[in-house]
Homo-oligomer: A and B are copies of this chain.
């Protein structure tokens, strides 16, 4: 698979996240810490499976239940966001409140990259929908599938 670069937009460190959680009175366990580090270190949205496999290297007794419960916790506390690539399992990535992005899913190598879709593009579309259908759009899902740079050659 490909290399993971740090996301260029945000520079969240796992320490920042740890402080945030600690300040709210939550405990920082080995697994919670490990999970935060994974999210900070990769650009690839992670599935429960992937997280389990990675964490199991350091903590051989982790259980998938813990992973699922931790993900639920991190989502509830707005640390990570759930995304759906329609391949049968949910994936998670660091929540970035400031920019709204979508994904490019390569059907060749399965890598996922982010695209920022200018807000006004969809806003215009949504306000048109609002008028024509009297439907108040509150959220949307938009994901692109195709072939990445590498897989095209």
Q: Mark A97-118, 1 if CB is under 8 A from B, else 0.
A: 0000000101100000101010
- Interface status of A56 (Cβ within 8 A of chain B): no
- A129 near B141 with CB under 8 A, answer no
Q: Are A139 and B145 CB-contacts (below 8 A) given A86-B84, A134-B152, A152-B134?
A: yes
Q: Mark A142-153, 1 if CB is under 8 A from B, else 0.
A: 111111110010
A residues contacting the other copy or chain, number (CB 8 A): 31
- Interface status of A119 (Cβ within 8 A of chain B): no
Q: Min CB distance, A51 to chain B, in Å?
A: 21
**4 smallest beta-carbon distances between A and B, as pairs:** A134-B149, A137-B146, A138-B146, A136-B147
CB within 8 Å of B: which residues of A?
A: 84, 86, 104, 106-107, 113, 115, 117, 121, 125-126, 129, 132-149, 152
- A–B pairs, 10, beta carbons within 8 Å: A104-B133, A126-B144, A134-B152, A135-B148, A137-B145, A138-B146, A139-B145, A141-B142, A141-B143, A141-B145
